[in-house]
Amino acid sequence: MNRRELLRVTGGATIFGLALPTILKHGASAQGTTAVADLGLPEITITMTDAGFQVSPSESPAGWTLVTFTNSSNEEEDAPDLMLLPAGMTADDVANTLATPEAAAPSWVYQATFAGGPFADKEQTTQAIVNLTEGEWYVFSGGEPQFAGTTLTISRASSASPAAGSITADVEISLQEFAFVGLEKPVPAGARVWKVTNTGEQPHFMLVFPIPAGTTTEQLQASVMTMMTGTPEAGAVDLGDAPSAAGCSTLSRGQSLYLSVDLAAGTYGAICFFPDEQTGAPHALLGMETAFTVE
């Protein structure tokens, strides 16, 4: 992780002023798929190219859905945002907002429904299970550069739609103001399913990346603050140019998703840069980063 990339996404042109993560631009670990692909769920495939997003099929039934995301662009790392179009807004409205970001996020962003999506490095494929409700959704990237978004129609659920109870998670994490709950104890290494739920009041996302062995949460927070402000903080350590290892794009309040995650044993950090609704400050500046252990 380097200061230039960190500043690039916490300032400048990003979605609605949102600081979505492209801070770790040196290669996401390839995540092997897990049992999420074997549950018989409806599947949509999302491919991101330099020309924009492609979604197949363009219509799917409501409910828990397997999202298979392939990053075929020249962007080192990205994730699809899946947002239910707010009432009275069209995909063009959102695209225009993306093209002309404001200094602060518009208020409707905090009321919109975001279902999350998995991160993937260039030429990698990752998977997640997301909960999509009936309506018109917009699939896009909140990072920079911008990629042309596309729509996805979610139709009424059929009686045969699998229930959430059929999904088993190895790790459960809650995102809230301003913490990651569920990472206080070591989590298991290897191919696992993580359930990530936003139990807070604001939107959040989660980016997971390796950090030097033994780094504490206090040191991670000091290190991030140092890179974001340019002012040395006591306890800061050199995080290097760490690649990301896992994560999900924005989840709105009350939303959950299941991530296919494959982590080697070691020390990791989790972080969120979504802007605070009141102050506009990235959540990381308000303490939303934590160090944890995988073993």
> Which runs of E-coded beta strand occur in the chain?
43-49, 52-56, 59-61, 63-71, 77-78, 81-84, 113-114, 120-121, 125-132, 135-140, 150-155, 171-176, 179-181, 190-198, 204-210, 246-251, 256-263, 266-271, 289-294
Mean pLDDT of 1-7: 40
Is the pLDDT higher at 200 or at 246? Answer: 200
Mean pLDDT of 29-46: 73
Is the pLDDT at 32 greater than 60, yes or no?
Answer: no
Is the pLDDT at 286 greater than 60, yes or no?
Answer: yes
The predicted structure's pLDDT at residue 105: 78
Average pLDDT for the chain: 84
**Rounded Cα distance, 113 and 100, in Å:** 21
Taking the model in full, what pTM does it have? 0.88
What confidence tens digit (pLDDT) does each residue in 143-186 have?
655 688 999 999 988 766 666 556 789 999 999 999 999 999 99
Whether the Cβ atoms of residue 252 and residue 112 lie closer than 8 Å to each other: yes
Is the pLDDT at 26 greater than 90, yes or no?
Answer: no
Give me the percent of the chain exceeding a pLDDT of 70: 81
Highest mean pLDDT among 97-106, 159-168, 223-232, 267-276: 267-276
SS3 of residue 294 by DSSP: strand
The ranges assigned to domains in the chain are 3-294
**Rounded Cα distance, 119 and 228, in Å:** 23
What confidence tens digit (pLDDT) does each residue in 211-245 have?
999 999 999 999 988 887 788 888 888 876 666 77
